[in-house]
Amino acid sequence: MSLRTAVLPLLIAATLPLAASAALHGLQPRALITLDRFSSPVLSPDGKVLVYARRVADLDANKSTTALWAQDIANPAAKPRRLTPEGWNVNSPEAAPDGKSVYFLSAKGGSMQLYSVPLAGGTPRQVSALPLDVGSFALSPDGRRVVLGLETFPDCAADIACNAKHGEKKVLKKASGVVFDRMFIRHWDAWNEGKLNRLFVAGLPAAGKTVTGAQLIGGNVIGDAPSRPFGDASEYGWSPDGRSVVFSARDANREEPWSTNFDVYLAPADGGDARNLTAGNKAWDTGGVFSADGRTLYYRAMKRPGFEADRFALMALDLATGAKREIAPGWDRSADGITLSEDGRTIYTTADDMGQHPLFAVDIATGGVTRLVADGSVSAFDIANGTLAFSRNSLKSGDQLFTGGLDGKAVRALGPDAGQMLKDVRFGDFEQFSFKGWSNETVYGYVVKPWNYQEGKTYPVAFLIHGGPQGSFGNGWSYRWNPQTYAGQGYAAVMIDFHGSTGYGQAFTDSISQHWGDRPLEDLQKGWAAALKKYPFLDAGRACALGASYGGFMVNWIAGNWNEPWKCLVSHDGVFDQRMMGYATEELWFTEWEQGGTPFDVPKNYERFNPVNHVDQWRVPMLVIHSQQDFRIPVEQGIGVFTALQRRNIESKFLYFPDENHWVLKPQNSLQWHETVNTWLRQHIGQ
């Protein structure tokens, strides 16, 4: 259960009759969207000051701003102080090695550039003034140089000025047509403009000067570094002596859309060619981190090419001999990243684990694993001088900041949780449960009570199905699919971590591939039955099933294969036609692994669990949601679902966003999303 300590007023109110606590209410979408968000905890080198980002949403302006704040953690009475000025929008804080300043990115001047601000407070100064946006950065160990991630055209090589002129020429073109001779033609939510993320090194200038040029490193590697669409500075880093940079990249060639062959490269920081350190592994290698003496490189590696949800193992590479070994082969979890202890004996990392997302310590010599921070989901952390800082969320709160010792003990909260920020909101209590699912194996789920739960009453149910499919609906907070927003409407929420979910061992995760419609469906059916048996407050006659991405596929699938329990359905960005998905999606490795091959080599696999083949069995009212910029599951999939519903004369609505991708991110769009979904549920299951 969550470690969140409820504030006293909520504890008192929970014991009072409803009339005495009339001011309380459940979590509403507007409150969720406008809730301040805390992230990016970074410690000063001495471990005495915590820097973090605080995001504030302006719903009326339909935007948000993020500022950096500092907290003197050595003094418990100290109040947080703002580091960046009002009106600035910043990201990616990194403390300087000397502890005197903090570097960050901001587009305050019109383009994204590198800035710094004194840790003690003061006016930020611009560090870079390049004609290109800076996408990411990493400071050298001595604080004299910086790696900059820039988006450039390959034919301009290392010439930054050439890249700027290349972009200007495109604007001046009168014809709008674009000719492609290979994929990707588009990726996630952007069309391919022919540019690549590349890494450059520059010296950090003295006060009053700015970086206006930089040296390309690893120029022989033609690929995105960091990767698209979600790669960041965790994919590259400096050697301890500052002579080399390690980074991860995949060849940008015609095979890229069906390849997960990322390799770890070592490049001289002065601009020479890079050396491939993991060429023997055709699966995913990433996240290189040097030991303090520079002799060993630690990194994460998958084993199976073409599978994006394979287990990330922790690896150690002897740079002198080339010998590799897996550090914790018996630990059946997938590591998120690598942070080395100061004595070099321990790797700190997070990973999904039984419906939670804890922080772990892995002994490099023995492979022994210790869970340091459990209960809830640790989203980010940092260590310095014996101090641990981390952000953690749960089913009752967004990210809250904590500090403590490296043993995970003596932890104290530095910032408010959701209950402290929303003092008039009562959150629904939650509980994890288990049952026997497919193959008689144990499967876990969560149930969340409505905010106004009373013993003896029954409540309508939102049955939430997670995406991925290799994902989890565990003890964590979401700003898009949050069970508390349903509990806040007076519904109970039920979520099942069906076969294919992460955090229960790699075999459990693997079991969904080529089985999208049978094994997970069996788990959902048995989980629903188990929840109804265990929790008598669930009203089986008033239930709606909702899901996005793979969850949207499953909603489309159960519409024709398990529609008996449901009064309504909500399908967001779901696959409707598996065969067309295999041709129209951008990252082809996903469909080709999940279906066991291409749609022309194994066409029967694409038809086996294809919702389009069962439309004749559809009968339940459905709300369909899809976005134009979703190139992962193109909008025609959602249009097809709505067309089928309309053609069969089934009550249905289609919510279309022309300016969103696979996620709905803009504040006003998010509010419309929640209001439309809640109206649909009220219409069909009450409250």
The values of phi and psi at residue 158, to 5°, are -95, 5
Q: Is residue 414 part of a domain?
A: no
For residue 426, give the nearest of 492, 476, 484 by alpha carbon.
Answer: 484
Q: Is the pLDDT of residue 11 over 70?
A: no
For residue 470, give the nearest of 531, 516, 436, 528 by alpha carbon.
Answer: 516
Instruction: Give the total number of structural domains in the chain.
Output: 1
Q: Is residue 108 part of a domain?
A: no
Q: Residues 393, 477: contact at Cβ < 8 Å?
A: yes
Known catalytic residues? 549, 630, 662
> How high is the pLDDT of residue 5?
28
Q: What is the mean pLDDT of residues 555-576?
A: 98
Q: Is the pLDDT of residue 554 over 60?
A: yes
Q: Is the pLDDT of residue 14 over 50?
A: no
Q: Residues 247, 218: contact at Cβ < 8 Å?
A: yes
Q: State the CATH number of the domain containing residue 550.
A: 3.40.50.1820
For residue 365, give the nearest of 433, 285, 296 by alpha carbon.
Answer: 296
> How high is the pLDDT of residue 167?
67
Q: Is the pLDDT of residue 556 over 70?
A: yes
Write down the mean pLDDT value for the chain.
94
Give the pTM.
0.95
610-633 pLDDT, tens digit each: 999 999 999 999 999 999 999 999
Q: Is residue 164 part of a domain?
A: no
Q: Is residue 551 part of a domain?
A: yes
> How high is the pLDDT of residue 476?
98
Give the integer Cα–Cα distance in Å for 597 and 103.
Answer: 46
CA distances from 617 to 394, 526, 559, 562, 681 (A): 38, 21, 7, 10, 22
> How high is the pLDDT of residue 166?
78
> How high is the pLDDT of residue 162?
87
Non-local CB neighbours of 432 within 8 Å, separated by 6+ positions: 1, 355, 444, 445, 446, 475
* Structural domain for 449, as ranges: 430-685
Q: Is residue 659 part of a domain?
A: yes
> How high is the pLDDT of residue 19?
37
Q: Is the pLDDT of residue 157 over 80?
A: no
Q: Is the pLDDT of residue 137 over 80?
A: yes
399-424 pLDDT, tens digit each: 999 999 999 888 999 999 999 999 99
Q: Is the pLDDT of residue 16 over 60?
A: no
Least confident of 146-160, 565-579, 583-597: 146-160
> How high is the pLDDT of residue 13?
33
Give the integer Cα–Cα distance in Å for 169 and 148.
Answer: 24
Q: Is residue 600 part of a domain?
A: yes
657-673 pLDDT, tens digit each: 999 999 999 999 999 99
Q: Is the pLDDT of residue 318 over 80?
A: yes
By the 10 Å C-beta count (0-12 exposed, 13-18 middle, 19+ buried), 175 is classed as: exposed
> How high is the pLDDT of residue 22?
46
Element (H, E) at 568: strand 568-572
Q: Is residue 89 part of a domain?
A: no
Q: What is the mean pLDDT of residues 49-66?
A: 95
> How high is the pLDDT of residue 20?
37
> How high is the pLDDT of residue 607?
98
265-290 pLDDT, tens digit each: 999 999 989 999 999 999 999 999 99
Residue with structure tokens 């400096």? Answer: 238
Q: Is residue 550 part of a domain?
A: yes
Q: Report the SS3 class of residue 553.
A: helix
